[in-house]
Structure 1
Amino acid sequence: MSRSLASTVDVRVDLSELVFADASLMVDLAMVARRLRKAGRRLYLQDAQPQIRRLIEIVGLDRLAGVTIAPLPA
């Protein structure tokens, strides 16, 4: 996470192999997104498995400014 905050470009997080996550990860991602947004950058969350995407939606991470959710390829 600290490397993402030092980034000078938008940050992309590949979630394709993540099969479990809890609220603490969602809070961490939200904090990173907020700090990136303040620096004029975006957080892209890519390829989340259905259960992870559902958690993202439940906690509202997908509705934060500066966060983009990219779907799994069809």
Structure 2
Amino acid sequence: MTITVDRDRCVGAGMCALTAPEVFDQDDEEGRVVVLDTEPAPAHQAAARHAAGLCPAAAITVTATDTTTHQQ
């Protein structure tokens, strides 16, 4: 999984930082989202997805990463 954010869309609600503090924080100046880990460990992925779903501004995008390798 890869996480990206649109800080221009962020309204500083803080749901991300409360829901997945290992992955998200807020800056001190404007309270906007800061990604601490763009590729979180499996243990934090469910919380990161949940945080993205809770974001009132839809500023967080979670993209699945294909970890399978194709051999011929």
With the length of structure 2 as denominator, give the TM-score of the two structures: 0.34
Greater radius of gyration (CA):
2
Greater relative contact order structure (CA < 8 Å, 6+ sep) = 2
